[in-house]
């Protein structure tokens, strides 16, 4: 591969990147200077999928709804009480964060974390596979759409001479969200992304470079940019989970200025059919490492967060009433988180449909009031500057924006 | 049956040197017939290699005793687990008592899978085992499943891989590993049902997501299975029906009435209804054709195989015969069109080089790094059977690194021999063609 002028430019800029002591605004990206109007930053979206259908009413607790606690005798999160631990953390007098998500509270208080509740996919399936597929294709109910919504974003905003890392997933396989004709790479470990053949490596790379072009473009880009050892911003500690490690590597790639514009990570294990616990227990533990990982990413990126929007999603929520085994079966709406510099946070968005029996979807689940595509569209339009989302979300007309951004 | 290379790429873990020529002599049809009757094939040399993995022949209670839960063992031995050296001390104490940590059970399972894939002469049986273990996926890491999975594979799956679908389905339904993995052992008429198994039984095991069931059916099926439970999952781990927590009232499943008072027969009746349902015939046929023919299954063949399912009471051997002898299977268009999974890739690479492997940690971990850690797929859907899932950039690099390490004999416990220059072998194993079958 001929190394383009851009890569030389970038490798000049990256010597500083990843060095925690250097404020990131000093490391102006060569990309920003080349591809964007002067003074305009390069917007980045980080999409996170909670696979398995995360319990929205445990993550963001509607303690103000009088039907909530009675439906969940063993697993409800106790309402907030001043000075008491292991209870919901009050957000606005009606909603509270699960106590395990306490590390997200400062970001909410600073106005950079928004929550959209009663959100999700309008399709009524309770199948994990179908619901994930619909959310990732961005076309609920339509099994004929073969590419993912993030890939279609790349298609409608083509970038000539884009970096091999324009779209990257820190996952074992390329996620459905990024599947499609636009190039996207996926990897699990930045540090081992290359050929390990000792002295023969360059020769072996040469041999395979044309056969697996996108992959080896990415290998070369990464080699010109990353340091061997990545150190997060001083004081930031990521939890020791695969998900947190993916977020840390996303931060590493963003700080290395390899041209990341779309990043993706996923976290499994939200299918809490049994013994999910309350303020303590299985779900609490998983939420702790989830929230801590998000907060670590946020703090690690520091002032770069002004160009970044993080959005979380989950395929559906869980039934409002606990089942016979201290868990929750498949439901309908859940909630999602949107965080970043451009986000008008400190608020729970979306109309609350209520938990009275007649307000529930099919008499059992939190009803849906916000289509996930409204949230994604708003991020694409206002943050990623996508002129037209009609091609990203086929047959979908965005409702009046939630004004999250 | 002209293209022997194609035949072997689908009903085995890839040809060994000289095998295509050897089977050309025998004839493809005769070879297929042999493979469809694995019991008639002598496999003692592969069986001898399995002696290295003692846990695969143990009952669940033996496994529980010999590979105890570290915390329980520590409590019994009064070891303070907060102490940093405790893990090492616990390992030493286990060894002194002739015990091992449960991770060894997983290693034995992974090792025997690879050793059989490489050495068993009953290749189709191994391919079918791989298929059904993925279809009826369970997750080894889920608590008690660490001790229940071995018995699941050996007694619920393996005996039925070419038998009647209904027997296979019933064996999985009554297997403690599945009852635990999908929470059915907790589903109770008195405390409340758990819908997990009821839903996945229809969505993933039988009818398929568009197979015509409703949320109401999910609940009715879950009620039918209340009481299908496990006798002390962490002591003996045997199937047990608990009448006290069974919902004995009438149910209506997919339009069939199940009378009140049926007890354990309710669940059996559901299995019967599901295994006779045309959607099941269609769904299972679709998945088999996808595995053996093409990622996008030819609809005509699916319909034909679905007919065979319905005519033969779900005889898997008959369905397989119909698939492999079909025009669609033998069309040049589908040769080399399937992408190997990491497991297939590793096994076929070792086989193609007359390799010697103990199936040990290094080689099974490499399969995991390539994206398919065996027995560790968390969602109940199992791994997708489509090429694009396996060929992400990170996974491609892991495959190339596997090719490099294998050809250089740098994988402890696995060695290969060849006359070509190393670079030639790496180029072949790393080529896009070798990723296909």
Q: Measure B41 CA to nearest chain A CA, in Å.
A: 38
- Cβ-Cβ contacts under 8 Å for A257 (sequence gap 6 or more): A10, A13, A14, A17, A27, A29, A30, A31, A225
Distance in angstroms (rounded) separating the CA atoms of residues A27 and A162: 20
Q: What pLDDT sits at residue A376?
A: 98
Q: Report the 10 Å Cβ neighbour count for A398.
A: 18
Pairing assessment for the beta strands A262-267 and A44-50 based on DSSP bridges: parallel
Of B37, B5, B34, the C-alpha closest to B18 is: B5
- Cβ-Cβ contacts under 8 Å for A215 (sequence gap 6 or more): A185, B393, B396, B397
> Which chain B residue lies closest to A165 (C-alpha atoms)?
B393
Pairing assessment for the beta strands B414-415 and B356-357 based on DSSP bridges: antiparallel
Q: Are A25 and A303 in contact (CB under 8 A)?
A: yes
**Cβ within 8 Å, pair A208-B215:** no
B194: nearest CB among A171, A212, A329: A329
Pairing assessment for the beta strands A308-314 and A334-340 based on DSSP bridges: antiparallel
Question: Which residue out of B217, B371, B397 would a mutagenesis test of the A interface target, given it has the greatest number of A Cβ atoms within 10 Å?
Answer: B397
Distance in angstroms (rounded) separating the CA atoms of residues B154 and B216: 34
Q: What pLDDT sits at residue B301?
A: 98
- Residue-wise pLDDT for A10-44, tens only, equals 333 333 333 333 333 333 333 333 333 333 479 99
DSSP type of residue B235: I
Q: Measure B33 CA to nearest chain A CA, in Å.
A: 36
Question: Which residue out of A124, A129, A178, A324 would a mutagenesis test of the B interface target, given it has the greatest number of B Cβ atoms within 10 Å?
Answer: A324
| pLDDT mean across residues, chain A | 90
- Residue-wise pLDDT for B170-223, tens only, equals 999 999 999 999 999 999 999 999 999 999 999 999 999 999 999 999 999 999
Q: Measure A81 CA to nearest chain B CA, in Å.
A: 30
- Cβ-Cβ contacts under 8 Å for B376 (sequence gap 6 or more): B139, B140, B141, B368
- Cβ-Cβ contacts under 8 Å for A222 (sequence gap 6 or more): A165, A190, A193, A194, A256, A258
**Cβ within 8 Å, pair B394-A327:** no
Residues on chain A touching B401 (C-beta within 8 angstroms)? 195-197
Q: Are B317 and B32 in contact (CB under 8 A)?
A: no
> Which chain B residue lies closest to A172 (C-alpha atoms)?
B371
Residues on chain A touching B209 (C-beta within 8 angstroms)? 125, 127, 129-130
For chain B, positions 177-196, list CB contacts with chain A under 8 A: 182-183, 186-188, 190-196
Residues on chain B touching A202 (C-beta within 8 angstroms)? none
DSSP type of residue A366: P
Q: pLDDT band at B1, cuts 50/70/90?
A: low
- Residue-wise pLDDT for B79-127, tens only, equals 887 777 887 888 888 899 999 999 999 999 999 999 999 999 999 999 9
**Cβ within 8 Å, pair B183-A327:** yes
Residue A326's alpha-carbon distances to A178, A282, A323, B49, in angstroms, are 36, 11, 6, 45
Q: Are B201 and B173 in contact (CB under 8 A)?
A: yes
Q: Measure A25 CA to nearest chain B CA, in Å.
A: 31
User: Looking up tokens 């009433």, which residue turns up?
Assistant: A321
Which token pair is B51? 């002696």
B401: nearest CB among A195, A275, A322: A195
Q: What pLDDT sits at residue B9?
A: 98
Using CB atoms within 10 Å of the CB of residue A234, give its burial: 0 to 12 exposed, 13 to 18 middle, 19+ buried: exposed
DSSP labels, B60-106: HHHHHHHS--HHHHHHHTT--TTSTTHHHHHHHHHHHTT---THHHH
Residue B380 pLDDT greater than 70, yes or no = yes
Q: Are A391 and A152 in contact (CB under 8 A)?
A: yes
Distance in angstroms (rounded) separating the CA atoms of residues A223 and B406: 25
Distance in angstroms (rounded) separating the CA atoms of residues B69 and B143: 10
Number of residues that make up chain A? 405
DSSP labels, B196-250: HHHHHIIIIIIS-TTSS--HHHHHHHHHHTTTEEEEIIIII-EEEE-GGG---S-
- Residue-wise pLDDT for B125-168, tens only, equals 999 999 999 999 999 999 999 999 999 999 999 999 999 999 99
Q: What pLDDT sits at residue B84?
A: 76
Distance in angstroms (rounded) separating the CA atoms of residues B368 and B305: 33
**Cβ within 8 Å, pair A322-B192:** yes
B187: nearest CB among A204, A208, A324: A324
**Cβ within 8 Å, pair B426-A327:** no
DSSP labels, A40-51: ----EEEEEEET
Question: Which residue out of B186, B400, B409, B436 would a mutagenesis test of the A interface target, given it has the greatest number of A Cβ atoms within 10 Å?
Answer: B400
Record the pTM.
Answer: 0.92
Distance in angstroms (rounded) separating the CA atoms of residues A62 and A80: 11
User: Looking up tokens 């046929």, which residue turns up?
Assistant: B285
Distance in angstroms (rounded) separating the CA atoms of residues B426 and A204: 8
Which token pair is A363? 């008499």
Distance in angstroms (rounded) separating the CA atoms of residues B287 and B281: 10
Which token pair is B241? 């029906």
User: Looking up tokens 């297997």, which residue turns up?
Assistant: B175
Strand (E) positions, B232-323? Answer: 238-241, 251-253, 256-258
Dihedral class, residue A238 (left if φ above 0, else alpha if ψ from -120 to 50, else beta) = beta
**Chain pair A-B, CB pairs under 8 angstroms:** 134
**Within an 8 Å CB–CB cutoff, is residue B378 touching chain A?**
yes
**Within an 8 Å CB–CB cutoff, is residue B218 touching chain A?**
yes
Residues on chain B touching A186 (C-beta within 8 angstroms)? 392-395
Instruction: List, in sequence order, every residue forming a beta bridge with A318; answer none if it has no partner.
Output: A330
**Cβ within 8 Å, pair A325-B404:** no
Q: pLDDT band at B78, cuts 50/70/90?
A: confident
Could you list the mean pLDDT of each consecutive 10-residue stretch along chain A, which spans 405 residues?
36 37 34 38 94 98 98 98 95 98 98 98 96 97 95 95 95 96 94 93 95 94 80 96 98 94 97 97 98 98 96 98 97 98 98 98 98 98 93 93 91
> Which chain A residue lies closest to B368 (C-alpha atoms)?
A172
**Cβ within 8 Å, pair B426-A204:** yes
**Cβ within 8 Å, pair B183-A273:** yes
């Amino acid at each position: 591969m001929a190394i383009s002028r851009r890569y030389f430019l970038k490798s000049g800029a990256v010597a500083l990147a990843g060095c925690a002591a250097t404020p990131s605004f000093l490391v102006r990206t060569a990309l920003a200077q080349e591809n964007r109007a002067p003074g305009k930053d390069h917007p980045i979206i980080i999409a996170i999928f909670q696979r398995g259908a995360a319990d929205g009413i445990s993550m963001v607790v509607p303690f103000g709804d009088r039907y909530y606690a009675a439906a969940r005798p063993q697993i409800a999160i106790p309402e907030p009480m001043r000075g008491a631990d292991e209870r919901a953390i009050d957000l606005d007098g009606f909603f509270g964060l699960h106590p395990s998500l306490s590390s997200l509270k400062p970001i909410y208080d600073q106005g950079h974390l928004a929550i959209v509740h009663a959100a999700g996919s309008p399709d009524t399936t309770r199948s994990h596979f179908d619901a994930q597929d619909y959310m990732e294709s961005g076309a609920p109910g339509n099994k004929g759409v073969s590419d993912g919504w993030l890939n279609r974003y790349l298609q409608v905003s083509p970038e000539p001479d884009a970096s091999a890392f324009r779209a990257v997933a820190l996952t074992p396989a390329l996620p459905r969200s990024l599947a499609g004709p636009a190039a996207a790479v996926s990897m699990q470990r930045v540090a081992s992304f290359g050929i390990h053949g000792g002295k023969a490596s360059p020769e072996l790379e040469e041999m395979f470079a044309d056969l697996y072009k996108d992959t080896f473009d990415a290998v070369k880009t990464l080699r010109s940019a990353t340091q061997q050892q990545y150190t997060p911003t001083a004081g930031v500690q990521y939890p020791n989970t695969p998900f947190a490690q993916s977020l840390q590597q996303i931060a590493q790639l963003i700080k290395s200025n390899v041209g990341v514009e779309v990043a993706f990570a996923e976290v499994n294990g939200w299918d809490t059919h049994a013994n999910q616990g309350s303020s303590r227990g299985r779900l609490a533990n998983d939420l702790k490492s989830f929230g801590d990982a998000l907060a670590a990413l946020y703090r690690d990126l520091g002032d770069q967060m002004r160009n970044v929007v993080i959005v979380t999603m989950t395929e559906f929520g869980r039934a409002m009433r606990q089942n016979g085994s201290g868990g929750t079966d498949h439901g309908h709406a859940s909630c999602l988180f949107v965080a970043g510099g451009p986000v008008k946070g400190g608020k729970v968005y979306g109309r609350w449909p209520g938990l009275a029996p007649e307000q529930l979807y099919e008499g059992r689940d939190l009803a849906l009031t916000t289509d996930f595509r409204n949230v994604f569209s708003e991020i694409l339009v206002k943050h990623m500057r996508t002129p037209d989302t009609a091609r990203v979300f086929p047959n979908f007309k965005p409702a009046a924006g939630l004004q999250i951004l | 049956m002209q293209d022997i290379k194609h035949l072997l790429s689908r009903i085995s873990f890839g040809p060994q040197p000289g095998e295509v020529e050897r089977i050309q002599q025998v004839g493809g049809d005769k070879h297929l017939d042999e493979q469809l009757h694995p019991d008639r094939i002598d496999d003692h040399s592969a069986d001898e290699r399995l002696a290295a993995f003692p846990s695969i022949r143990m009952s669940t209670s033996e496994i529980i005793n010999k590979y105890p839960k570290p915390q329980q063992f520590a409590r019994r031995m009064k070891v303070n687990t907060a102490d940093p050296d405790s893990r090492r001390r616990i390992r030493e104490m286990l060894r002194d008592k002739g015990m091992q940590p449960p991770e060894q059970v997983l290693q034995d399972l992974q090792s025997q899978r690879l050793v059989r894939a490489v050495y068993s002469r009953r290749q189709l049986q191994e391919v079918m085992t791989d298929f059904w273990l993925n279809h009826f996926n369970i997750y080894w890491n889920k608590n008690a499943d660490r001790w229940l999975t071995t018995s699941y594979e050996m007694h619920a799956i393996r005996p039925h891989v070419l038998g009647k679908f209904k027997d296979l389905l019933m064996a999985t339904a009554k297997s403690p590993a599945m009852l635990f993995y999908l929470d059915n052992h907790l589903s109770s008429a008195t405390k409340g049902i758990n819908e997990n198994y009821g839903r996945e039984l229809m969505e993933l095991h039988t009818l398929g997501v568009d197979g015509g069931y409703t949320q109401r059916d999910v609940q009715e099926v879950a009620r039918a299975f209340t009481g299908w439970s496990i006798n002390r999952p962490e002591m003996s781990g045997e199937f047990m029906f608990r009448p006290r927590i069974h919902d004995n009232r009438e149910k209506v499943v997919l339009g069939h009435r199940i009378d009140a008072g049926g007890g354990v027969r309710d669940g059996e009746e559901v299995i019967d209804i599901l295994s006779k349902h045309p959607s099941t015939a269609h769904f299972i046929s679709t998945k088999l054709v996808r595995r053996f023919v093409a990622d996008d299954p030819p609809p005509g063949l699916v319909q034909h195989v679905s007919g065979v399912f319905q005519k033969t009471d779900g005889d898997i051997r008959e369905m397989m015969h119909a698939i492999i002898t079909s025009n669609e299977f033998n069309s040049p268009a589908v040769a080399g069109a399937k992408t190997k999974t990491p497991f297939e890739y590793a096994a076929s690479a070792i086989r193609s080089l007359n390799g010697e492997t103990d199936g040990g940690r290094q080689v099974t971990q490499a399969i995991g790094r390539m994206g398919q850690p065996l027995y560790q797929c968390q969602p109940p859907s199992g791994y997708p059977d489509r090429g694009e899932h396996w060929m992400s950039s990170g996974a491609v690099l892991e495959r190339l690194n596997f090719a490099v390490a294998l050809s250089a004999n740098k994988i402890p416990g696995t060695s290969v021999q060849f006359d070509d220059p190393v670079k030639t072998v790496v180029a072949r194993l790393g080529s896009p063609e070798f990723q296909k079958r």
